[in-house]
Amino acid sequence: YPNKENYHPIKDAIWGMGEKTPYLALAKTFDIIDETSSRLAIIKTACNFFRSVILLSPEDLPKCLYLSLNKIAPAWEGIELGVGPTIIEKAVAETTGLQVAVIKKLCKDQGISEVVMERRRTVATLKAPVPLTVDKVFQRFKDMSKVSGSGGQAEKVTIIGKMLADSKPLEAKFIVRALSGKMAIGLAESSALVALAHAAALSVADKDEIAGRKAVKPSPEKLEAAVKLLKKAYNEFPNYDVLTSALVEGGLEAVTAACHIRPCIPVKPMLAHPSKGIDLLLAKLGDQEFVSEYKYDGERAQIHRADNGKIMIYSRNQEDHTGKYPDIMNRLPNHAKPGVTSFIMDSEVVAWDVAEKHILPFQVLSTRKRKNVITSDVTVQVCLYAFDLLLLNGEPLISKPLHERQALLRENFVPSEGEFMFATSLASSDAEDIQTFMNEAIQNRCEGLMVKASHAPYEIDKRSNKWFKLKKDYLDTVGDSVDVVVIGAFHGKGKRVGTYGSYLCAVYNTKAETFESLCKLATGFSDQQLQDFTEQVNELRIPKMHKDYRVSLQPKETPDVWLTPKLVWEIKGADLSISPVHMAGVGIEDPGKGISLRFPRLLRVRPDKKPEDATDGLQIVNLYRQQATVQKGSKADDDED
């Protein structure tokens, strides 16, 4: 097993040099990770497995990574498996000989992946199965993503059925878990990258040892440096195929050269910390120069244009939104000055009232169709507010200070009212000026202000303490709304019988990669939402609590059904308090206790966020501290990373 001490990447592997990686080796790795809660042990397990792959079958490395993260391609390619529960049940029925009704019944007590595994254990196979390889499983998954049309469902059932017929019990379990989108073994992308970086650094010594040269194990500093390098490269160019092939061919050094920001490959956005008041903010910024900008209430859009004229629009989550905004696509070339060949721009799309010439609320924007929109169908007009420039004419700008990036933005693009505008900004450090500007922003239908240090580079994928957000409603109750992951549901009572009436919501602990319960949410739903959420949630049911959930299992607080972490909702509450029940930021403010959000209500669903993008437990602790600071009227420090 890959997590044993003194793991040897060849002797301990279950396959040989030059052979294809057996899917069983990956399934065993998943199984160990699934049973492990220590983050370090999980990373070590994955690292040892990757070391074997790097030495024995390096061409399988990207496929192993994708399958470990339950993906088949980078998010922006928008490739989906398109496999729902019905297809899986049919395929399982075909391979196990059980009827669909029986499978459904068995699934009440255990997940379908367990049902399959049990059956594969007990049913004798008639013909000798063909061993499954990582390559084959990955290819089958890709094949399924290409199948569409009327016969598509039957074709997918056949593909899955064949894979299952060739699988060993453990393989069947993880194939079905992957297909049903409930992989959830507890290997987050950031841990997978740490494991890969460690594996890459260790494999230098592995290769030396095998070649009979003196092998020097990398020091902890070297391992740390490898992690930093790999994360930076992945942030700039999030493509495992390119990253792993550079790694395999030229080692870590080659990765930096191969992976850098470029048009039409989305990068993760720079994010802001919430701040609860102008005085606190000014104290935090000290003597740094900064600029305040309107915080528009729409949808983040990263706009790319390549040298060949191709334009792409990506969401906050790196999803392809090009098909959602044909109107922006048509107009964009008019806004770039002659001489601009390629660029990456950061901006916010907001709904725009053409007759009255003003911004409309986010709720209006959210009624816009998401895919394959035709310009003539557009009912909600939008205006793009640009606030940053990450690349211009092939040159990356992310290391340049904000004031230079913004100057280039203004020099190279032409605004036009109601279509393309620069974010309204103010360069003043006077508290009264900022307060007036904030009032103006709110009158102009914005959420508040973004305040940004002028000398700061663009920090990809970072909630940075160079950017702050100051929302109008920070000034009343809890500083910020909170993005939570729905991890459990309770059956409704009274008027809500037949639907789920309340939900257990959690924040995400980025360090420990666990979901910590924050509150039970029962308010803010429309009747339609109660129905819709019930349907969605039924698809996400898992048979037992996920090992990475940190919740109190008191009878009243234990949900009737547990859910795989998928749905992200934005909620707001009255205040935060130390809780005997909830677990957000557990142990930081009070030994053994966490923080809960009182009187929470749903604001909106956040399809643009992944569970790992939910509010961090540490942010909750910071909000709790700010709340205490403000209540005491003190000017103590603001939130901290």
Q: Which residues are catalytic?
A: 295
Closer to ligand ATP by Cβ: residue 62 or 269: 269
Residue among 517, 563, 560, 515 nearest 537 (CA):
563
Least separation in angstroms between residue 373's CB and ligand ATP is 20
Give yes or no for a contact between 471 and 276, defined as CB atoms under 8 angstroms apart.
no
Least separation in angstroms between residue 386's CB and ligand ATP is 9
Least separation in angstroms between residue 507's CB and ligand ATP is 13
How far apart CA 271 and CA 278 sit, in angstroms, is: 19
Give the sign of the dihedral formed by CA 328, CA 329, CA 331, CA 336.
Answer: positive
Closer to ligand ATP by Cβ: residue 296 or 562: 296
How far apart CA 293 and CA 621 sit, in angstroms, is: 27
- E strand or H helix at 87: helix 85-96
Gap between the terminal Cα atoms of the chain: 37
What secondary structure letter does DSSP report for 77? G
Residue 381 CA, distance from chain mean position: 28
Give yes or no for a contact between 453 and 289, defined as CB atoms under 8 angstroms apart.
yes
Pairing label, strands 482-491, 299-305: unpaired
Residue among 491, 617, 506, 512 nearest 552 (CA):
506
- E strand or H helix at 491: strand 482-491
How far apart CA 349 and CA 288 sit, in angstroms, is: 29
Closer to ligand ATP by Cβ: residue 77 or 473: 473
Closer to ligand ATP by Cβ: residue 66 or 296: 296
Residue among 214, 257, 267 nearest 237 (CA):
267
Least separation in angstroms between residue 471's CB and ligand ATP is 7
Give yes or no for a contact between 75 and 221, defined as CB atoms under 8 angstroms apart.
no
Closer to ligand ATP by Cβ: residue 273 or 593: 273
Q: CB under 8 Å to 266, separation ≥6 — which residues?
A: 75, 76, 238, 302, 304, 312, 314, 318
Closer to ligand ATP by Cβ: residue 285 or 423: 423
Pairing label, strands 500-509, 299-305: unpaired
Q: Residue 469 forms beta bridges with which residues?
A: 274, 450
Give yes or no for a contact between 58 and 202, defined as CB atoms under 8 angstroms apart.
no
Residue among 620, 631, 605, 595 nearest 480 (CA):
620
Closer to ligand ATP by Cβ: residue 303 or 450: 450
Vertex 564: Cα angle to 531 and 84 (nearest 5): 70
Closer to ligand ATP by Cβ: residue 316 or 405: 316
Least separation in angstroms between residue 601's CB and ligand ATP is 15
Least separation in angstroms between residue 272's CB and ligand ATP is 4
Least separation in angstroms between residue 299's CB and ligand ATP is 7
Least separation in angstroms between residue 423's CB and ligand ATP is 4
How far apart CA 226 and CA 321 sit, in angstroms, is: 33
Closer to ligand ATP by Cβ: residue 263 or 269: 269
Both tokens assigned to 94: 């075909």
Residue listed under structure tokens 């009232």: 353
How far apart CA 195 and CA 39 sit, in angstroms, is: 11
Rounded CA Rg of the chain: 26
Q: For the purposes of burial, counting CB atoms within 10 Å of the CB of 372, is it exposed (0-12), middle (13-18) or buried (19 or more)?
A: exposed
- E strand or H helix at 399: none
Least separation in angstroms between residue 301's CB and ligand ATP is 8
Least separation in angstroms between residue 544's CB and ligand ATP is 31
Closer to ligand ATP by Cβ: residue 348 or 419: 348
Binding site for ligand ATP (CB under 6 A): 269, 271-272, 293, 295-296, 300, 316, 348, 387, 423, 450, 469
Strands (DSSP E) found in 492-548? 500-509, 514-521, 541-542
How far apart CA 366 and CA 537 sit, in angstroms, is: 21
